Every structure is written in C-alpha cells, then in structure tokens.
Structure 1
Amino acid sequence: MGDIESVGVTELPDDFTDDPERILLDVREDYEWDEAHVRGALHIPLGEVPGRIDEIDLDRELFVVCRTSGRSYRIMEYLLNRGIDGTVVTGGMVAWIAADKPVDGGPDAP
C-alpha cells in the first residue's frame, strides 16, 4: 500500500497501557472493540477520527489497528495527507488473536 509502513503483531508489545513511547489506535466499531481489544489501546472508530484527532498523542509513535488492516490503511492515508506519521498493524485484530496475544473484552472478560 504505497508509502504506508506496516508491522506484524509479533513485533508489538502485548499491552500499551503504560507505554510512554507508543500509542495503538483501534479504529474498529464499538461492537468490535467490545468483543476484544488490545490492552491500553485508544479506541476511536474510523469515522470519528477526523473530529477526535486531538485525542491522539502525536508525540508518541503511532500504530493503527482494525479487524484485518483495510480500515487501518484508509485512516493512515488520511493521516499521512495531514502530515501525521504512523504504522499499520498487518492483519489487524484477526492476526493479533491468531498469534495468541492477550486481549481484553469478550464474554469472558472480568
């Protein structure tokens, strides 16, 4: 996808909760977030990102995740056109779960 950088899920930490250097932006819909999400991720659905851009700490390295990567590439194209760098998480949450990385949410969540 052109000049958009990507990274595999195994190259990322399991938890972004107290990571001062990086931020994981999850652009999936609310119901998808509720099913399973990465600990410490920032949730802003794709369609809301332009209006909520100020909620993203742009001083941190930005990673974007969705279900399989399609929405992540779309929002990264939008952000790059506004001078904001970031990296797409290849395979999204499908790849995250397939790699057996931990998630919050879902029917078994506390």
Structure 2
Amino acid sequence: LRVVRGSVFDVVVDIRRSSPTFGQWSALEISAEKGNQILVPKGYAHGFVTLVPDTEILYKVTDTYSPGHDRSIRFDDPAIGIRWPALPGGFQLSDKDRNAPLLAEAEVFA
C-alpha cells in the first residue's frame, strides 16, 4: 500500500491465533510526501485513517478481491489498544466497521 496523495495513519494487527504476537499491532504514517509504503503480510489485519482530506491510496494485492473472504475487527477493541490519532470531528465509520466484532469474537487465522 502506498499513498499517492495526502497521508494516512496505517495499522496492522497480527490475527494469527497460533502466533506469539497475536493481537499485537504496529502503526506508521504513510504519505505521498514521504514516499513510504507498507506490505501487509498474510495473517494480519489492516486498517487506516486518513489524516488529510482527499487522500488517495494505491493497493497492490496478491489475488483478485473476494468480498466473501472479507473480514473485520473493531478498530477500537480495548484488548488490542491501538492508539489512533485524535481527529477533529472524530472518525467517520462505515456500517461494516462500526459493527465489526472484537478480536476475541472474530473469525481469524489459526
């Protein structure tokens, strides 16, 4: 993933139950100005919040998108404890993200 315009606060979470780092997260700011990018490995959840209006993101993926395999976890799950940046006006969430299960209840990798 890379940002072609604007910037995002980008987060990955290990969702492999058998992993010693299960539930741990890492974050970084990705921006067009910095030119940085991230590769999200298999077995990790991925999310981001845009930091400026009109941000554009470019994804490269290993296969064709399959909506039937799409899963979510709560962005504000206290068991994960992601420290999201404060945004004026708060977050605008999709219904899918607003209703996502906690990690303990989510369908994740073994």
The TM-score normalised by the length of structure 2 is: 0.28
More helix by share: 1
Task: Name which one, 1 or 2, has greater alpha-carbon Rg.
Answer: 2
- 1 or 2, which has the higher strand percentage? 2
